[in-house]
C-alpha cells in the first residue's frame, strides 16, 4: 500500500559520503597533482605529496563505502549488498581498498599496481554516482 521511503538522513549521508570520497579521489589525481606539476614543483615533491595523500584518501573512501553500505542495508535490506549494483560496487571498493593496503604493506615498490588500484576505486566511484539513491527505483 505505502512504499517504504528511505530516511531522509540516510539519503543525505549517502550523497555526502559519496561526494567526499569520489570527489576527493578524482580531485587529487586529476586536478591537484597535475596543477602542482604545472606550477613547477619538483617531481619528487609531487610524488611525495601523492604518496602521502593516496593512502589517506583510500582509507577515507573505505570508511565512506562502509557508511554507504550501512545506509543501503537499512533502506534495501542486507541482501542488497550482493544483489544490487550499488552493493556490488561498494563491496568492490572495500575489496580494492583492502588490496591497496595489503600490496602497499608487502610490496611497497609496486607503484603500477597501486595506481591501477586507485584508478579502479575512482571508476567504481563514478559508476556508483550514476546509480539511484537507496530506496529509489531507476528512472525516478
> pLDDT value at position 24?
95
Q: Return the sign of the alpha-carbon dihedral for residues 65, 70, 73, 74.
A: negative
Under the banding of pLDDT at 50, 70 and 90, the label for residue 4 is low
Residues 49, 17, 105, CA angle at the centre, nearest 5°?
A: 45
Mean of pLDDT values over 108-133: 92
| Crossing angle between the packed helical segments 85-106 and 43-76, to the nearest 10 degrees | 140
Would you say residue 117 has pLDDT above 90?
yes
Domain boundaries along the sequence of the chain: 9-129
Of 106, 108, 99, 89, give the one whose Cα is nearest residue 58.
99
The percentage of the chain sitting over the pLDDT mark of 90, rounded to a whole number, equals 72
Span 45-102, pLDDT tens digits: 999 999 999 999 999 999 999 999 999 998 888 887 888 899 999 999 999 999 999 9
Alpha carbons within 13 angstroms on the beta-carbon side of residue 2 total: 3
Cβ atoms of residues 86 and 124 within 8 Å: no
Amino acid at each position: 500500500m505505502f512504499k517504504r521511503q528511505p530516511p531522509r538522513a540516510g539519503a543525505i549521508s549517502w550523497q555526502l559520503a559519496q561526494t567526499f570520497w569520489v570527489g576527493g579521489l578524482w580531485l587529487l589525481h586529476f586536478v591537484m597533482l597535475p596543477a602542482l606539476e604545472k606550477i613547477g614543483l619538483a617531481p619528487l615533491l609531487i610524488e611525495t605529496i601523492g604518496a602521502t595523500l593516496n593512502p589517506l584518501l583510500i582509507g577515507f573512501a573505505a570508511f565512506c563505502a562502509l557508511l554507504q553500505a550501512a545506509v543501503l542495508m537499512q533502506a534495501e535490506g542486507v541482501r542488497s549488498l550482493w544483489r544490487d549494483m550499488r552493493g556490488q560496487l561498494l563491496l568492490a571498493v572495500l575489496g580494492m581498498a583492502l588490496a591497496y593496503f595489503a600490496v602497499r604493506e608487502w610490496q611497497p615498490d609496486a607503484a603500477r599496481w597501486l595506481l591501477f588500484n586507485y584508478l579502479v576505486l575512482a571508476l567504481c566511484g563514478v559508476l556508483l554516482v550514476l546509480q539511484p539513491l537507496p530506496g529509489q527505483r531507476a528512472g525516478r
